[in-house]
Every structure is written in structure tokens, then in C-alpha cells.
Amino acid sequence: MSEEYRHIVRVSGKDIDGQENLLQGLTKVSGVGLRFSKAIIIKLSMDPSTRLGHMTDADISKIETIISDPVKAGLPHWYVNRPRDRMSGRMLHLIGSDLDFAHRSDIERLRRIKSWRGLRHSLGLKVRGQHTRTTGRKGMAVGVSRARVTTRGNE
């Protein structure tokens, strides 16, 4: 443990509050969920309740190496978020803006080849087979419009 406390800790290109515990703080990095965070902590045999502000630079660099390549670090291959990448054919784990870019490029590829999912993305409709009769109307009023009741004056 380091005696020096840092209020902001940079992990994999993301600034995280030093008050966060290790388990929840790692999930602030895009591409790292709760299960992956737990796996990293168990692999490095760290205490999940440790505050990130008390972590040393060596501990943070160990965490970053596991996040960048979990399969090489000895975690199971199903922890990666991009198995068998189309471009490289490797097991990749993307984080941050790389994950966002890959997601956008996947959707753009579906649009370009005019697949069913690509057409649904293009039209802004539900993609995964949900019903669209009553949901996904984007701003329109849901329900039946009622006729206005007019009131007469005293007769």
C-alpha cells in the first residue's frame, strides 16, 4: 500500500475518483464490467475494498496489462468482449474509444451489406425482434386520444 493518497487515478485512459473501491472503480472503464473486475482482482490477489487512491503505480500497471490482454494474462477466453475479431482473427478485449469505434463500424458494415439488422438500424427501428406496435414510437403519444368534453354555461 502506498502512503500517498491520490484523489484522481488514471486507469486505462479513464480518470477515476480515488474514493472508489477497487471493485467498483474498475467498472468505470468502458469495456470492464463487474465480473471482469472481480476476475482481475482475484487474479492479482488484491483486496476488492481497497480505495483506488491508495493503489501504487505498479499495481495500476498490473491491472492495465490484464485489461489490455486478458487471455495472455491467464483469464478464460470468454472474458474478452471481441472474440475472433473480423479484421485480425484474434481474441481482443477492447476498452474505451476503441470499443465505441468497433461497435459503430460493426453497425456500419451491417448497413453497407444491407442485412436485415442493418436496415433496421438505418430506419431507427428495433433490431432484435421486439414488437413495435405499442413501443419504440420515439416521442409520439402512446394510447388513444379522447374527444374534448365541452361545457355549457348555465342555462
Q: If the chain, 155 residues long, is cut into consecutive pieces of 10 residues, what is the mean pLDDT of each piece? A: 78 90 93 92 93 92 92 88 82 88 93 95 91 80 70 67
Residue 57 identity (one-letter amino acid): D
- Interhelix angle 97-112/116-123, rounded to 10 degrees, is 110
Domains of the chain, start order:
8-79 (1.10.8.50), 96-127 (no CATH)
State the pLDDT at residue 1. Answer: 47
Closest CA to 40 of 57, 18, 25: 25
Tell if the pTM clears 0.85, that is, is over it: no
- What's CA 10's distance to the chain center, in Å? 18
Strand-pairing partners, residue 21, are: 51
**What pLDDT is recorded for position 13?**
87
Record the cell numbers describing residue 102, joined without a space: 468497433
Given a contact cutoff of 8 angstroms between Cβ atoms, the answer to whether 1 and 54 are in contact is yes
